[in-house]
C-alpha cells in the first residue's frame, strides 16, 4: 500500500480503537504509526495491542511503527476534607508536607522535590492552569502562595511548575516498569514525558540499549531553553502542545512549534506535532476550519508526523479522524506553494560524504525529474539523511532489518520495504528497479536514483550514487 503523502500520521489507540479489525481500518484510512499511551494502559493490554498491531502488519504486508508513550512524573495536590474548595484571588494559600486533609487555606503537596525547589516568585499552576498561584515564601516544608487567578481547587489536581527546575529525572518507578515491559514486546519508539534537560535521557537510553529509539516530548519551558542539547541526545522530538500551553503563554506555542520543528529538521531528527489537532472530531464527524488550518500548518512546516490523541483513542469517529487528517495532508502537499515553503527551510548538508550524497541525490532527482530516490539503509541513518533533504520525489528505503523499516515508518517521505541485502552492485541496482516497479513508483523506461554504501552492508557509509532505468521486466534496463 502506497501513501499519497509524505508526512506521516500517528494514531493513538484506546477504548474506541483497540481491537484488531479497528486497527486495520485505521491503517487503511491512513495511520502509519500507532501510539500506546502508558498513562492509561496496563501491561497485559499493552502486550495485546502490540500483538494486534503486528498481526495487522502481517496482513497488510507493510512495516508499521509502534510508539509507547511513558507517563512521566505526575505532580498532584493531596485531598481536601470536603473534596474541593473555592478560593479568592488575592488570598493566601499554602502547599505543605502535612498529610492532613486540606481546607480553604492549605493542602498537602506529596512531592518533597517541589517543596525544596520552589523559590519566591515562582508560579504554580493547578488543574491545567485554571488556578494560578505565585510563591511568596518557601522553607522546604511549605510554600506560602498568593492566588493570582482562578477560584476552584479539588482533590488530586495536577500541578505545573513553569519557573522551577526539579532535581529529579524524567523516569518514575512506574515509567521504569513500563519501559522494561514495552522493550520486551519490541516496540519501535519510546516517548519520554516532561523532559527538562538533556541528562533526563541518560537513564532511559541506558535501559533501552538500542532496543527502541527515544523520542523527547518537549512540553516544559526548561526543555525549550535547552532544545539544541536535547535534540543532540534524542532520536526524535514531539511538540507536546497540551502541556506547553499550560506552562507557557498560549500565544507563544505556535512560535515554539515552528522553532522546534525547524531545529529538528536542521538536525535531521524526526519531529511529531501533537495535541488537539482535530479535537472537535472526538464528538463530531467533521473538524472545524481552524483545526484544518492547524493540521495544514504542521504539514507546510515539514513536520515528519502529525498525531491524533483522543480523536482516535476515545472519540466517536476514529476512522473519520484519521481519514480527514490523511485528506488534509494530501491536499496540502499538492498545493503549488508547498514545494517553495519546504525548500525555503532546507538546511545545508553536513560536511560528510553521506550527507553530500543525499543532497546530490535530491538535486539530481529533481533536476532530471526521476521517479524515485532508492536508498539502501541497514541502521536507518541513510534513510534519515534522505528525508532531511525533503525531496519532491518519493523516497524508497530498502532495509534487511525489519526493526529499521518500522522505525522509519515515522519519518517524512519514507516508503520502507524489507528486503535482503544485495549480493553485489548489479544486484543492488536490479533490486532497486524491481521494487520501485513493483511498489508502483515507476514504470518501464522511468529512471530512479540509487544511493548506498560500498562495501555493501556497511552501516552509515553512504558513498555511492547511481542513476538506473527501469527495464521492461522491472529490472535495470542499463
47 is known as an active-site residue: no
Q: What is the pLDDT of residue 464?
A: 87
Among residues 217, 265, 362, 406, the one annotated as catalytic is 217
Query: Tens of pLDDT along 177-191?
Result: 999 999 999 999 999
Q: What percent of the chain has pLDDT over 70?
A: 98
Terminal C-alpha separation, the chain: 28
The answer to whether residue 275 is catalytic is yes
Domains of the chain: 8-72+169-332 (3.20.20.60), 84-160 (2.40.33.10), 353-469 (3.40.1380.20)
The catalytic residue among 35, 62, 362, 406 is 35
Q: Could you give the CA distance from residue 310 to residue 255 in angstroms, rounded to a whole number?
A: 24
Q: What is the DSSP letter of 283?
A: T
State the average pLDDT over residues 9-35.
98
The pLDDT of residue 458:
66
Q: What is the average pLDDT value for the chain, to the nearest integer?
A: 94
pLDDT surpasses 70 at 474: no
Of the listed 76, 226, 346, 434, which one is catalytic?
Answer: 76
What residues contact residue 221 under an 8 Å CB cut-off, 6+ apart? 162, 163, 247, 248
Indicate if the pLDDT at residue 459 is higher than 80.
no
What would the pLDDT profile of 232-269 be if each residue is shown by its tens digit?
A: 999 999 999 999 999 999 999 999 999 999 999 999 99
- pLDDT exceeds 90 at position 162: yes
Cα distance between residue 421 and residue 398, in whole Å: 9
Res 350: pLDDT: 83
- Lowest-confidence pick of 122-126, 168-172, 279-283, 331-335: 168-172
Dihedral, CA of residue 385, residue 387, residue 388 and residue 393, to nearest 10: 120
For 37-85, how does the pLDDT look when each residue is reduced to its tens digit (9 = 90+)?
A: 999 999 999 999 999 999 999 999 999 999 999 999 989 999 999 999 9
Tens digit of each residue's pLDDT (9 = 90 or more) over 181-221:
999 999 999 999 999 999 999 999 999 999 999 999 999 99
Q: Which residue, chain included where needed, has cell 516532561?
A: 194
Q: Is the pLDDT of residue 477 over 70?
A: no
Dihedral of alpha carbons 443, 388, 218, 292, sign: negative
- From 185, 275, 377, 462, the catalytic residue: 275
Q: Does residue 35 carry a catalytic annotation?
A: yes
177 labelled catalytic: no
Amino acid at each position: 500500500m502506497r501513501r499519497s503523502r509524505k508526512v506521516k500520521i500517528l494514531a493513538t489507540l484506546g477504548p474506541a480503537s483497540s481491537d484488531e479489525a479497528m486497527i486495520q481500518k485505521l491503517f487503511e484510512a491512513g495511520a502509519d504509526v500507532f501510539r500506546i499511551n502508558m498513562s492509561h494502559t496496563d501491561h497485559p493490554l499493552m502486550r495485546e495491542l502490540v500483538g494486534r498491531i503486528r498481526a495487522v502488519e502481517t496482513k497488510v504486508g507493510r512495516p508499521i511503527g509502534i510508539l509507547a508513550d511513558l507517563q512521566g512524573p505526575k505532580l498532584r495536590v493531596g485531598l481536601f476534607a470536603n473534596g474541593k474548595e473555592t478560593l479568592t484571588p488575592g488570598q493566601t494559600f499554602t502547599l505543605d508536607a502535612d498529610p492532613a486533609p486540606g481546607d480553604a487555606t492549605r493542602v498537602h503537596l506529596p512531592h518533597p522535590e517541589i517543596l525544596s525547589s520552589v523559590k519566591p516568585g515562582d508560579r504554580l499552576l493547578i488543574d491545567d492552569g485554571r488556578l494560578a498561584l505565585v510563591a511568596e515564601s518557601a522553607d522546604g516544608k511549605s510554600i506560602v502562595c498568593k492566588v493570582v487567578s482562578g477560584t476552584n481547587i479539588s482533590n488530586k489536581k495536577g500541578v505545573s511548575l513553569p519557573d522551577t527546575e526539579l532535581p529529579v529525572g524524567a523516569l518514575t518507578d512506574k515509567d521504569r516498569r513500563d519501559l522494561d515491559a514495552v522493550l520486551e514486546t519490541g516496540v519501535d519508539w519510546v516517548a519520554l514525558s516532561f523532559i527538562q534537560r538533556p541528562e533526563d535521557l541518560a537513564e532511559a537510553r541506558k535501559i533501552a540499549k538500542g532496543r527502541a529509539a527515544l523520542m523527547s516530548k518537549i512540553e516544559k519551558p526548561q526543555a525549550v531553553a535547552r532544545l539544541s542539547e536535547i535534540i543532540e541526545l534524542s532520536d526524535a522530538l514531539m511538540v507536546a502542545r497540551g502541556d506547553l500551553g499550560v506552562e507557557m503563554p498560549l500565544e507563544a506555542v505556535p512560535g515554539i512549534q515552528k522553532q522546534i520543528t525547524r531545529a529538528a529538521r536542521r538536525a535531521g531528527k524526526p519531529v511529531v506535532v501533537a495535541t488537539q489537532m482535530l479535537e472537535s472530531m472526538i464528538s463530531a464527524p467533521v473538524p472545524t476550519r481552524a483545526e484544518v488550518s492547524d493540521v495544514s500548518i504542521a504539514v507546510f512546516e515539514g513536520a515528519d508526523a502529525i498525531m491524533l490523541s483522543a480523536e482516535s483513542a476515545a472519540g466517536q469517529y476514529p476512522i473519520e479522524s484519521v481519514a480527514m487528517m490523511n485528506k488534509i495532508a494530501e491536499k496540502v502537499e499538492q498545493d503549488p506553494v508547498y514545494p517553495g515553503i519546504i525548500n525555503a527551510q532546507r538546511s545545508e548538508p553536513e560536511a560528510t560524504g553521506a550527507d553530500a550524497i543525499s543532497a546530490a541525490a535530491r538535486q539530481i532527482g529533481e533536476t532530471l525529474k526521476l521517479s524515485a530516490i532508492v536508498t539502501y539503509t541497514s541502521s536507518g541513518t541513510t534513510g534519515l539523511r534522505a528525508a532531511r533533504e525533503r525531496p519532491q520525489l518519493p523516497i524508497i528505503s530498502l532495509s534487511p532489518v525489519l526493526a529499521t523499516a518500522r522505525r522509519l515508518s515515522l519519518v517524512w517521505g519514507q516508503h520502507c520495504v524489507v528486503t535482503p541485502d544485495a549480493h553485489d552492485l548489479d544486484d543492488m541496482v536490479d533490486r532497486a528497479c524491481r521494487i520501485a516497479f513493483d511498489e508502483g513508483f515507476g514504470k518501464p523506461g522511468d529512471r530512479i536514483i540509487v544511493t548506498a554504501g560500498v562495501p555493501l552492508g556497511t552501516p552509515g557509509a553512504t558513498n555511492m550514487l547511481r542513476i538506473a532505468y527501469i527495464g521492461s521486466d522491472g529490472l535495470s534496463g542499463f
